[in-house]
Amino acid sequence: MQDRFVYTAHPSRVVFGAGSLAALADEVKALGCRRAFVLTTPQQEATGADVVAQLGPLAAGLFPGAAMHTPIAVTERALAAFEAAKADCTVAIGGGSTTGLGKALALRTNLAQIVVPTTYAGSEMTNILGETADGKKTTQRNARILPETVIYDVDLTLGLPVAISVTSGINAIAHAAEALYAQDRNPITSLIAEEGVRALTGALPIIVTTSRDPTARRDALYGAWLCGVCLGAAGMALHHRLCHVLGGAFDLPHAETHTVILPHALAYNAPAAPEAAARIAAAMGVEDAAQGLYDLIGRLGGPRSLREIGMPADGVERAAALAVESPYWNPRPIEREPIRALLERAYRGARPEA
């Protein structure tokens, strides 16, 4: 156990369980709000319309334009619609893209937000916002960014496509994995991280074979919640830096990028963070965290190369240069040539190496 540490608990209210979306109107009222502005991606507009109907007179409008990596241009359009509707809170229903838009609006208005996750992104439990402009993604922490209420309705994840379940689940695992070797790690977050990894790596194989299994879906959503807590309570390192670079520079899909990069980031850091690597491996029930995760992603049918998710062949050098420009703290120094080699292996889908 660490001799000295700081742990900050973030004051989000969590409503968890099958059918819990039914409590949405009461949760809006509990925040003292009366005009909820619903946010979705274009693909989930119909779901957003159902939520508007469920809220009835409490609904102020619907903005179905959330996009990956929270482009500032999209946020500006949503903010104009939000203000025109005279809304006093947001309800973001969907994955990380929608959650990000809700956070961006909360940062600009200082008004309350409710998040209803339908994937395993985990970002709903953090005070972190990543925004993209001119091909670069920047992140910040701010108390206004943290959602006041999160409703985890297991029923909303039963129909989540298997491919998205896998990549968003690995995305969540990344939050827990990095919390175990973060500069500001602490014993409480480390326990939560191990439990989150255990829950997700146990649930995902079942979801792949029996996608509507309610127990596996419950466990996966529980794991995603815990992994999100880790991201909110501890800092980010190499893995998240690489994913932010790749997402901002090449507009690669967020969860898929996390899925490809995580085994390589774990292998890179394992020599400098052996205890973290051992705890991840133990939670997964494997001998080696990086190799075990790479193999698990293969069994789950997830992507294992940047090439297959749209990375251009000449992007490795540019990504390596960007990654070392403003590196996050990391247990192992972030150096140009080792990072370039890591990205080259990730581009080809090769097995990770320390």
Residue 354 lies in a domain: no
Reduce the DSSP state of residue 244 to 3 states and report it: helix
Quick one: pLDDT at residue 129? 95
CATH number at residue 144: 3.40.50.1970
Residue 213 lies in a domain: yes
Reduce the DSSP state of residue 272 to 3 states and report it: coil
Are residues 255 and 209 both part of a single domain?
A: yes
Residue 2 lies in a domain: no
Quick one: pLDDT at residue 11? 83
Provide the domain count of the chain: 2
Residue 3 lies in a domain: no
Quick one: pLDDT at residue 187? 94
Kindly give, in sequence order, each residue whose CB lies less than 8 Å from that of residue 123, ignoring residues fewer than 6 positions away. Answer: 96, 99, 100, 103, 228, 231
- Calpha distance 118→74 (Å, rounded): 21
Are residues 153 and 178 both part of a single domain?
A: no
Nearest CA-CA partner of 243 in 227, 257, 264: 257
pLDDT digit string, tens, across residues 38-71: 999 999 999 999 999 999 999 999 999 999 989 9
Structural domain boundaries, residue 214:
162-348
Q: Which of 125, 141, 157 is the last residue of a domain?
A: 157
Are residues 151 and 168 both part of a single domain?
A: no
- Calpha distance 186→183 (Å, rounded): 9
Alpha-carbon dihedral angle through residues 319, 320, 323, 324, given to the nearest 10 degrees: -150
Are residues 198 and 145 both part of a single domain?
A: no
Which tokens is 213 given?
A: 């299994």
Residue 6 lies in a domain: no
Q: Which of 136, 157, 178 is the last residue of a domain?
A: 157
Quick one: pLDDT at residue 65? 98
Residue 283 lies in a domain: yes
Kindly give, in sequence order, each residue whose CB lies less than 8 Å from that of residue 349, ignoring residues fewer than 6 positions away. Answer: 260, 304, 305, 306, 307, 308
CATH number at residue 282: 1.20.1090.10
Are residues 264 and 307 both part of a single domain?
A: yes
Residues 122 and 171 sit within 8 Å (Cβ to Cβ) = yes
**How many of the other CB atoms lie within 10 Å of CB of 26?**
9
Kindly give, in sequence order, each residue whose CB lies less than 8 Å from that of residue 279, ignoring residues fewer than 6 positions away. Answer: 180, 190, 193, 194
Residue 7 lies in a domain: no
Are residues 137 and 215 both part of a single domain?
A: no
Are residues 31 and 135 both part of a single domain?
A: yes
Residues 247 and 310 sit within 8 Å (Cβ to Cβ) = no
Q: Could you say which residues of the chain have pLDDT below 70?
A: 1
Residues 324 and 318 sit within 8 Å (Cβ to Cβ) = no
Kindly give, in sequence order, each residue whose CB lies less than 8 Å from that of residue 17, ignoring residues fewer than 6 positions away. Answer: 152, 153, 154
Q: Which of 157, 176, 196 is the last residue of a domain?
A: 157
What is the DSSP code string of 144-195?
Answer: GGS-SEEEE-GGGGTTS-HHHHHHHHHHHHHHHHHHTT-TT--HHHHHHHHH
Are residues 33 and 84 both part of a single domain?
A: yes
Are residues 17 and 125 both part of a single domain?
A: yes
What are the CA-CA distances from residue 271 to residues 1, 146, 267, 275 (Å)? Answer: 20, 34, 8, 10
Residue 147 lies in a domain: yes
- Calpha distance 347→343 (Å, rounded): 6
Are residues 236 and 302 both part of a single domain?
A: yes
Are residues 23 and 127 both part of a single domain?
A: yes
Are residues 139 and 238 both part of a single domain?
A: no
